[in-house]
Amino acid sequence: MDRDFQRLKGIAETIIRHPDNLIGIESNLRSRFSPEAHDIILATLKGAGWANLIRLQKMAFIAEVDYIENTGQRLSSLEFRSWNFGPYSRQLNDAVYGMKDDIDLREQSDPINPSGRETILTLKDFAPVGALDDKRLEFVEISAGTCRYVATEALIRRSKSHDIYKGTPFRDRIDFEKFAREAATMLKKMDKSEKLASLIRDTEKSRINGKWKTYPTCSSLLRSMG
């Protein structure tokens, strides 16, 4: 109840300050309170222990890409764009400031930009809203855990080295949907290849054991796969 009240209060204050820009306010609030962004931030901080805004962006992007490569499906519907320090999601960035009941935020000097400041995020309360299922939450947590001790500069390099990022013009939206379709096709081919290899191994074993009078052809093996 307190969290909902604070969010509604923030919406009301924003409308009062900008009464002539309701369309812009609606767009901003829609991204700021993204349930998927909320749950991804919580799972990332649970796995990594901490993050700054740049690390959060890169770990979320890496989790998205790895999930697609492993399943052929999107992890979430978050939008990322090609930006100065690599992939960037405004939904993640905006969601952080609506989660003060869930995470602690503190500022310190920025090691990348000594004249600036950076915001450090740590988990206060792991309370996902159910935008991601348990399997996806666990995947984000494990993925972030593998990045815990990786330097920020290395995370930036890793995220910028992926083909899906390199093929996206600056400021443009990264096309995860196309990437997911391509990954799903590749996984299907790999699955068929593994089934064929398994059938060949079983066939060779049967032949050696004297159970086959004739050695089956590849076409017959493929037909048996359906």
Show the CA angle centred on residue 88, arms to residues 84 and 92, nearest 5°. 145
User: Domain check: are 115 and 154 in the same one?
Assistant: yes
User: Domain check: are 45 and 143 in the same one?
Assistant: yes
User: Domain check: are 153 and 202 in the same one?
Assistant: no
Beta-carbon contacts of residue 56 (< 8 Å; ≥ 6 apart): 41, 44, 45, 92, 96, 121
User: Domain check: are 204 and 156 in the same one?
Assistant: no
| 51 domain-assigned | yes
User: Domain check: are 108 and 147 in the same one?
Assistant: yes
3-class DSSP string for 112-134: CCCCCEEEEEEECCCCCCCCCCH
Cα torsion 99, 105, 110, 113 to 10°: value is 30
User: Domain check: are 143 and 95 in the same one?
Assistant: yes
| 124 domain-assigned | yes
User: Domain check: are 49 and 106 in the same one?
Assistant: yes
Domain containing residue 73? 33-174
| 17 domain-assigned | no
User: Domain check: are 168 and 210 in the same one?
Assistant: no
* pLDDT tens digit at each of 226 positions of the chain: 455 555 555 555 555 665 555 555 555 555 457 999 999 999 999 999 999 999 999 999 999 999 999 999 999 999 999 998 999 999 999 999 889 899 999 988 776 666 778 889 999 999 999 999 999 999 999 999 999 999 999 999 999 999 999 999 999 999 999 999 999 998 888 887 776 677 666 666 655 555 544 444 444 444 455 5
d(CA 31, CA 173): 15
Asked if 52 and 105 count as a contact pair (C-beta separation under 8 A), the reply is no
Sheet with 103-109, edge to edge strand ranges: 51-52, 117-123, 103-109
The structural domain count of the chain equals 2
